[in-house]
Chains A and B, each alone.
Chain A
Amino acid sequence: MNRFAYTRAGSVAEAVQALAGDPAARIIAGGTNLVDLMKYNVERPDRLIDITRLPLAAIEEHEGGLRIGALVPNSTVAYDARVTARYPLLASAILAGASPQLRNAASTGGNLLQRTRCYYFYDEGTPCNKRVPGSGCPAIAGVNRIHAILGTSDHCIATHPSDMCVALAALDATVRVEGPNGPRAIPFAEFHRLPGDEPQRDTTLAHGEIVLSVDLPDRDFSRHYTYLKLRDRLSYAFALVSVAAALEMDGETIRTARLALGGVAHKPWRNAQAERSLEGRTAGPETFRAAADLILAEAKPYAHNGFKIELARRAIVRGLAQAAAGTPQSQTDKRIR
């Protein structure tokens, strides 16, 4: 790990000012990803700005929904009674990720800002356009079993690793941030970005902006939802494919559909056309398969990850079936029903 200066921010304004004035400074909260990246020399900040003493650690009622402060630990969100009652999809997705120890340390804002687990990104001995812009992407013609099948570019095929963010995408959360030019609210779908020709940019945040909260809107997907995560081992592994499904039902008819995929793209993947195709239709395998086909029509396999297309197709159909039936996937009983 490189040596760095340390600043303990006493206010949001101090943190923004310290960050904006120093391109090589980084914000630290839980540290579960940043400290790891620093141990691999992937991140070499000249200054860490510790924001853990800022008053951003509360879950509050907000416009009929909930406002989750950027510093609320992942485990606190997952077990909060208001979250489990009103946004069980979010609780379930959080518990599908990482380990109890990591969830206790990792913050809400940090979960959004964690970096890809692409092995080339993590290995400073190889090129990587995300780590060193313009150096190349060895994953495209290399070992790419865990990589993206949707929204890739000629510069990067990395995936976003978060489970929580897949649920937040399906729930249409809003990310509230503050920067040198003041506060702004970013719709979740616009927070993360596709790699394009700037894969070094994971999000649409400007340097100097920090996350204050994630706001959940007043919508009820507490009955018909699931977070279905498929991975190489039953626990404590990143998703190969995951599905967050949230439905509003009129009997057997789907009134509203939200569907987000994890493990397949540089950001949680949504497809408005597929969601509209479900609405007004009777829930059932044919309807679900048609939606999956719409989503995966544009999927592009690489040498080792072609299996993800069929895996995603089946996960979408199973996830929608679980959501429609009101039988969400358990995150402790690993049998998939």
Chain B
Amino acid sequence: MLSESGTRDAGDRIAITLTINGQRRQLQVAPWTSLLDLLREDLDLTGTKKGCDHGQCGACTVIVDGRRVNACLALAVMKDGASVTTIEGLSTGALHPVQAAFVEHDAFQCGYCTPGQIMSAVALIEEGRARTREEIREYMSGNLCRCGAYTNIVDAVESVLNGSSARREAAE
């Protein structure tokens, strides 16, 4: 049988807990609220962008429990207990190395896709599977840039990858 605590009727708000950028939050959400809308509308974390709202553009990319996902296709209620990192949580004070690389390589024009690009790139580097420019392009393909800044985005990601590998070698 379904437990009473596990079932809610339409209209009810449901209590969930999320750790967002390291801060534990007790929240009440409607079942149809996407993680993206929760971040932007309820929590005022507007760094995460709504582009297509259909999982096609990647502007809403956030990191949930260590994995990059499209926040527009995630229902907040299903992420109860999860840890979420948004662009606002990447660094405190100084820029994150990927943010600095995007500035250095002029990896954006209008900037709307940039938070998603940066979150995706941070995850790509953590995943550790991309080595070549071709691999960077493939593993960044979930993030569209309608200004067409792709070449400089790849430059930025590549520079951080090379820097991290240089640092890793130095440490070994």
Name A residues whose Cβ lies closer than 8 Å to a Cβ of B: 1-10, 14, 17-18, 28, 31-32, 35-36, 38-39, 46, 48, 50, 52, 73, 75, 79, 98-102, 104-105, 235-236, 331-334
Name B residues whose Cβ lies closer than 8 Å to a Cβ of A: 1-3, 6-12, 14, 30-32, 34, 53-55, 58, 61, 67-70, 73-75, 77-78, 120, 123-124, 127, 129, 132, 134-135, 137-139, 141-143
CB distance from A227 to the nearest CB of B (A): 14
Q: List 9 A-B contacts (CB under 8 A).
A: A5-B8, A5-B9, A6-B12, A31-B73, A36-B73, A100-B139, A102-B55, A235-B141, A334-B134
Q: Give A151 to B34 CA distance when docked, in angstroms.
A: 38
Contacts A5-B8, A104-B68: A36 and B141 contacting too (C-beta < 8 A)?
no
- Whether the Cβ atoms of B2 and A17 lie closer than 8 Å is yes
- Whether the Cβ atoms of A100 and B123 lie closer than 8 Å is yes
Closest to B14 in A: A6
- Whether the Cβ atoms of A104 and B58 lie closer than 8 Å is no
Contacts A5-B10, A99-B58, A236-B142: A332 and B78 contacting too (C-beta < 8 A)?
no
Contact of B2 among A14, A48, A100 (CB under 8 A): A14
- Whether the Cβ atoms of A10 and B6 lie closer than 8 Å is yes
A5-B9, A9-B6, A102-B142 given. 19 additional CB < 8 A pairs? A5-B12, A6-B7, A7-B7, A7-B8, A8-B7, A9-B2, A14-B1, A32-B55, A32-B70, A32-B73, A35-B73, A48-B31, A50-B78, A99-B142, A99-B143, A100-B127, A101-B142, A104-B67, A235-B138
Closest to A95 in B: B138
Chain A contact residues: over half helix, strand or loop, or mixed?
A: mixed
Top 8 nearest A-B pairs (CB, nearest first) are A99-B142, A6-B31, A235-B141, A104-B67, A236-B141, A332-B138, A3-B10, A8-B6
CB distance from B69 to the nearest CB of A (A): 5
- Whether the Cβ atoms of A39 and B53 lie closer than 8 Å is yes
- Whether the Cβ atoms of A46 and B10 lie closer than 8 Å is yes
Chain B residues near A52 (CB-CB < 8 A): 78
Contact of A10 among B3, B67, B134, B138 (CB under 8 A): B3
Q: Give A235 to B139 CA distance when docked, in angstroms.
A: 9
Contact of B8 among A6, A73, A75, A101 (CB under 8 A): A6
Q: Give A32 to B56 CA distance when docked, in angstroms.
A: 10
- Whether the Cβ atoms of A18 and B68 lie closer than 8 Å is no
CB distance from A315 to the nearest CB of B (A): 20
CB distance from B72 to the nearest CB of A (A): 8
- Whether the Cβ atoms of A7 and B69 lie closer than 8 Å is no
Closest to A30 in B: B73
Chain A residues near B61 (CB-CB < 8 A): 101
- Whether the Cβ atoms of B78 and A105 lie closer than 8 Å is no
Closest to B71 in A: A101
Contact of A101 among B11, B69, B77 (CB under 8 A): B69
Q: Give A240 to B121 CA distance when docked, in angstroms.
A: 29
Contact of A102 among B30, B70, B129 (CB under 8 A): B70
Chain B residues near A17 (CB-CB < 8 A): 1-2
CB distance from A94 to the nearest CB of B (A): 13
CB distance from A3 to the nearest CB of B (A): 5
CB distance from A215 to the nearest CB of B (A): 25
- Whether the Cβ atoms of B54 and A36 lie closer than 8 Å is yes
Q: Give A18 to B9 CA distance when docked, in angstroms.
A: 13
CB distance from A178 to the nearest CB of B (A): 16
- Whether the Cβ atoms of A7 and B2 lie closer than 8 Å is yes
Q: Give A100 to B127 CA distance when docked, in angstroms.
A: 10
- Whether the Cβ atoms of A100 and B68 lie closer than 8 Å is yes
Q: Which of B30, B78, B124 has the most CB of A within 10 A?
A: B78
Chain A residues near B129 (CB-CB < 8 A): 79
